[in-house]
Amino acid sequence: MASIREFKGLRAPADMVSQIAELPYDVLDSEEARVIAEKKPTSFFHISKPEVDLPKGTDLYSDAVYETGARNFKAFIDKGYLAEDGEAKLFMYTLVMNGRSQTGLMSCVSIDDYINDVVKKHEFTREDKEKDRIRHMDALSAHAGLVFLLYKEDGSLRALFDKSMLITPVYDFTSGDGIRHIVRMIEDKEMIDGFKNGFKGRTLYIADGHHRAASAVKVGQARREADKGKNPDAEYNWFLSVIFPHDQLMIMPYNRAVKDLNGLSETEYMSKIAENFDISDGKPIPSSKRRFSMYISGKWYELAPKHAIPSDPVESLDVSILQNGILSPLLGIDNPRTSKKIDFIGGIRGPEELEKMVNSGSHTVAFSMFATTIEDLISVSDSGNVMPPKSTWFEPKLLSGLVIHRI
């Protein structure tokens, strides 16, 4: 049974929000963020990626990074860049990309729901990334980024969502990447209670932000233990999220580029592929699910498995078929999570990026994937399994610095 609740948001004035909010901390590397932050003193990267204010080469996990983030956070509040609402509220967050919109409920979700698997996961987290966000959250005593959740829409919440869309937005701006961001405040107690009751009994699924969620839960557990459980209503028992109906979301493909053919000549490689895949002339985007577009030596091919597709929800994924049929046995990429031979390219960059990587000589072969579906994500999560790494790429990204949850 999913438990959500309203919270006192720490947020920017409407006339400043477009100059504060930024992409999530893990979408850009430190130097990309530094270029932006150096020109923009109000950029949220000064808080979410505080290494941008330290000398280049600074250890990203040094005490100085987290201390700088906390100092910048306080400065943003002192300067009036961020101010806390007087009353707890829910928020409705709409993103519009290329004419397609998606609207989710911004709320807090119980860390116990994560612990008890009411909030389901579909990927493993890395300890080093968790530790980084744990230290960041602890230093700020706040959740500065949003966890992207979804629920299976059955129509029962649609009327509430539609009603909330009649509220006048507090934010409405277009970010530098062309995405429109609209935020509405839900202050009506009856509507808030309607959402809280509407999510009871539901399962939630993490779409994006596994590390943010896991870190928030561990921070909450540590503070709960330190308090000996005496503060069950404390804000650290909840993490900040946006919950979207599943039928509004789009997953883009997560493409692959491989640096070499693992000692095989191109003729040998193509011959080995033909043992398990039908090869035909192809296009940059595969024609359907269970098909792969492969780019090598300036030409696109389409690959179709010759054998029956497994029924297992993980093994039947396109990313698993490619991994088990080509990447591991032929190209020597046994662990794509750690292999230095493979790079992953978010689908928003398109197959043109794959062509560029191969044509430049930095990579030898690339694979344009058919996107994993929302139904695949739900099926794997419900089975209690996890997807292979880099299976999903969600667009558009939820901005950080729009609304912050203090713990």
SS3 content of the chain, % helix, strand, coil (to 5): 35, 25, 40
110: Cβ contacts below 8 Å, ≥ 6 apart: 2, 3, 4, 5, 118, 237, 238
Q: What angle do CA 197, 203, 204 make, to 5 degrees?
A: 100
- pLDDT tens-digit map of 108-160: 999 999 999 999 999 988 889 999 999 999 999 999 999 999 999 999 999 99
Long-range contacts of 287-290 (CB under 8 A, 24+ apart): 288/370, 289/318, 289/370, 289/373, 290/318, 290/321, 290/370
Q: Is the pLDDT of residue 242 over 90?
A: yes
User: CA–CA separation, 192 vs 160, rounded Å?
Assistant: 10
- Say which DSSP state 41 is in: T
In terms of Cα–Cα distance, which of 310, 298, 405, 313 is closest to 357? Answer: 298
Find all residues with CB under 8 Å of 233, minimum gap 6, and list them.
none
- Asked if the model's pLDDT at residue 14 lies above 80, the reply is yes
CA distances to 112, 133, 345, 365 from 70, rounded to whole Å, are 27, 13, 33, 44
d(CA 390, CA 383): 19
Cis peptide before 286 (omega within 30 of 0): no
**For range 284-297, the mean pLDDT:** 97
pLDDT at residue number 377: 96
Query: Tens of pLDDT along 66-112?
Result: 999 999 999 999 999 999 999 999 999 999 999 999 999 999 999 99
Q: What is the per-residue pLDDT for 221?
A: 97
Q: How far apart are the C-alpha atoms of 270 and 59, rounded to whole Å?
A: 44
Q: Which of the listed CATH numbers 3.30.1330, 1.10.8, 1.10.10, 3.30.1760 matches domain 254-370? A: 3.30.1760
Task: Return the DSSP state at 153.
Answer: -
Burial class (CB within 10 angstroms; exposed 0-12, middle 13-18, buried 19+) of 52: buried
Q: What is the pLDDT of residues 219-235, one digit of tens each?
A: 999 999 999 888 989 99
Which letter does DSSP use for residue 89 in this model?
B
Give the pLDDT mean for 253-276: 97
The answer to whether the CB of 364 falls within 8 A of the CB of 257 is no
Q: What angle do CA 282, 285, 286 make, to 5 degrees?
A: 65
Strand 83-84 and strand 292-296: the pairing is: unpaired
Rg of the chain in Å (alpha carbons): 22
Please determine, for residue 1, whether its predicted confidence score (pLDDT) is greater than 80: no
pLDDT at 138: 98
Residue 229: its pLDDT value, please? 82
Domain boundaries along the sequence of the chain: 4-12+87-250+395-406, 254-370
What is the per-residue pLDDT across 171-212, written as a single tens digit (0 to 9) for each? 999 999 999 999 999 999 999 999 999 999 899 999 999 999
Which of helix, strand or coil describes residue 131? Answer: helix
CA distance 291 to 318: 8
Average confidence score pLDDT of the chain: 96
- Mean pLDDT confidence for 350-368: 97
pLDDT at 348: 84
356's tokens: 């560029």
For the question of whether the overall pTM of this predicted structure is more than 0.75, the answer is yes
Per the model's pLDDT, the better-predicted residue between 289 and 1 turns out to be: 289
Q: What is the pLDDT of residues 306-349, one digit of tens each?
A: 999 999 999 999 999 999 999 999 999 999 988 999 999 988 88
For a pLDDT cut of 70, what percent of the chain falls above it? 100
Quick one: pLDDT band at residue 363, thresholds 50, 70, 90?
A: very high
Q: What is the pLDDT averaged over residues 40-44? A: 97
